[in-house]
Amino acid sequence: MQKGHDPLSSLLITNARLVNEGQVRDVDVLVEGARIARIGSGVTAPEGVDVIDAAGKYLMPGMIDDQVHFREPGMTHKGDLATESAAAAAGGITSFMDMPNVSPQTTTRQALADKYGIAEGRCTANYGFYFGATNGNIEEVKALQVGEACGIKAFMGASTGDMLVDDPDVLEKLFEHARVMVVTHCEHSPTIWENEAKARAEFGEDVPFAEHPNIRSAAACIASSKLAVDLATRHDALLHILHLTTAIEMDLFSRAHRSEKRITAEVCVHHLWFDESRYEELGSRIKCNPAIKSARDRLALLAALNDGRIDVIATDHAPHTAEEKSASYFKAPAGLPLVQHALLTLFDLVADGQISVELLVDRACHAPADLFGVGQRGYVREGWFADLVLVDPGTPHAVSRSNLLSKCQWSPFEGHEFSATIDTTIINGEVVYRNGRLLGNTAGRRLEFSRAR
Ligand code: DOR
């Protein structure tokens, strides 16, 4: 039994508007222990069972965030597995997959095992970890077994953490030998370095942040994404390209259902939300890699999300301290804290008619479960784990410093009022967040991954 969990506890959720598997319907849901026992109407429960009346609220599977940087081990002044998984749970994210650019980097199977050890008993949400590819660890890649990691991360463009994989022979071998999905950060670094040199010549050290999408350009993105697609196609590997940002890259992806694809695509909430018109106001707060680009690019991402070329919505939650972010262009690190507000941004897009609530649940909950073979999560089904979120679409949530939960204590959304509120988050049957309060339980368990090439 996991710490803090009472196997006999039950919970009845009544009158919920369930969003699941492409449908919206009114149901009651009975949770027993860690699992969903019944879904139906008029579900009754034994006396004394806790009841949550969910009238007027959406019930959905918790979001499975397939890309976060929770900074542990080694960078815990920015965030750690405990603080960031709690912030995630408050945002309706019930499972997360963490990236390997920590210290030490997760680039050996031993470092991966150590990281799982560090996480045990400390996470509010369920966790899985990526293995990191480098130019020098192909033997470790070959030894990596299905289930050990959610996937193999390859920084095919340099970003935070000095993990660039750019040796052509290594890339060939990586796509040839990976037993699990390869997930990539695609930006062509030599193009970026050239653009950086030009910007330095023009502006000196004080490059305006609005130059970021010109430096981390669309040309850099498409060159690298094309290479990844070519490698995966030739080796018949599983490839998931992370945080896509440009209209031009959308032509690389098929509209087929994810069950028929070996090459899939992810978009992150900040790229669906912000565009380059916001650099003047927000500066380094929205500096991230790949860069937030034009309004036209943002609309193209939304179109691709709606027509199936983009399969998954994630966050790329990447906290840095306010002090680190206050530096000038070249020194300010890239990345934004996002997990607490990701679902709320998506519900604003729903309220604005840009995506449907069924599509939201498909891309943020069902799709990551399917693509990574996450065991018995990501859907609301009898017998599956009770990872559930209640969202109140009628109560606004204003973001202010006083209600931020990430360790870095700032947010690009400060001052914004979202149209919806995360009402309740349930993980493995335990209520971990309710009415604006974290309840302090570390209900998260290690995720199981079964997808193999
Ligand atoms: O903006 C980013 N921040 N992009 C990345 O690829 C890495 C991340 C980080 O770890 O800070």
Q: What is the DSSP string of 15-65?
A: EEEEEETTEEEEEEEEEETTEEEEEESS----TT-EEEE-TT-EEEEPEEE
Which tokens in the block code for residue 185? 């950060």
Nearest-angstrom CA–CA distance, 178 and 186? 18
Residue 373: Cβ within 10 Å count: 17
Nearest 5°: the CA angle 116, 117, 119 is 65
Give the pLDDT score at 160.
87
Assess contact for 214 and 292: CB atoms under 8 A. Answer: no
Residue with CA nearest ligand 1 atom 4: 289
Distance 159 CA to ligand 1 centre (A): 6
Q: Is 246 in the pocket of ligand 1 (CB under 6 A)?
A: no
Going from N- to C-terminal start, the domains of the chain cover 62-372
Which tokens in the block code for residue 85? 């998984």
Give the pLDDT score at 8.
61
CATH architecture for segment(s) 62-372:
Alpha-Beta Barrel (3.20)
Nearest 5°: the CA angle 377, 379, 383 is 70
Distance 300 CA to ligand 1 centre (A): 22
Distance 424 CA to ligand 1 centre (A): 29
Instruction: State which ligand 1 atom lies nearest to the alpha carbon of 185.
Output: 6
Distance 68 CA to ligand 1 centre (A): 9
Secondary structure class of 396 (helix, strand, coil): coil
Nearest-angstrom CA–CA distance, 212 and 214? 5
Give the pLDDT score at 9.
80
Distance 195 CA to ligand 1 centre (A): 19
Kindly tell me the sign of the dihedral angle through the C-alpha atoms of 245, 91, 432, 386.
Answer: negative
Instruction: State which ligand 1 atom lies nearest to the alpha carbon of 336.
Output: 1
Q: Is 287 in the pocket of ligand 1 (CB under 6 A)?
A: no
Distance 291 CA to ligand 1 centre (A): 10
Q: Is 338 in the pocket of ligand 1 (CB under 6 A)?
A: no
Give the pLDDT score at 6.
52
Residue 13: Cβ within 10 Å count: 26
Contacts of 268 (CB under 8 A, 6+ apart): 67, 242, 243, 313, 314, 315, 316, 338
Distance 423 CA to ligand 1 centre (A): 29
Residue with CA nearest ligand 1 atom 7: 160
Question: Which residue out of 77, 156, 159 has the highest number of ligand 1 atoms within 8 Å of its CB and is therefore the one to mutate?
Answer: 159
Residue with CA nearest ligand 1 atom 10: 160
Nearest 5°: the CA angle 82, 88, 92 is 140
Instruction: State which ligand 1 atom lies nearest to the alpha carbon of 242.
Output: 6
pTM of the entire predicted model:
0.98
Distance 334 CA to ligand 1 centre (A): 6
Instruction: State which ligand 1 atom lies nearest to the alpha carbon of 99.
Output: 10
Nearest to 184 by CA among 234, 144, 133: 133
Distance between start and end Cα atoms, the chain: 32
Beta-strand relationship, 430-434 and 421-427: antiparallel
Nearest to 290 by CA among 208, 133, 184: 184
Q: Is 69 in the pocket of ligand 1 (CB under 6 A)?
A: yes
Distance 53 CA to ligand 1 centre (A): 40
The low-confidence residues of the chain, meaning pLDDT below 50, are: 1-5
Give the pLDDT score at 4.
44
Distance 289 CA to ligand 1 centre (A): 6
Question: Which residue out of 69, 269, 321 has the highest number of ligand 1 atoms within 8 Å of its CB and is therefore the one to mutate?
Answer: 69
Which one-letter DSSP state was computed for residue 379? Answer: S
Nearest-angstrom CA–CA distance, 90 and 61? 14
Q: Is 159 in the pocket of ligand 1 (CB under 6 A)?
A: yes
Nearest to 89 by CA among 373, 431, 330, 369: 431
Q: Is 298 in the pocket of ligand 1 (CB under 6 A)?
A: no
Q: Is 334 in the pocket of ligand 1 (CB under 6 A)?
A: yes
Distance 318 CA to ligand 1 centre (A): 6
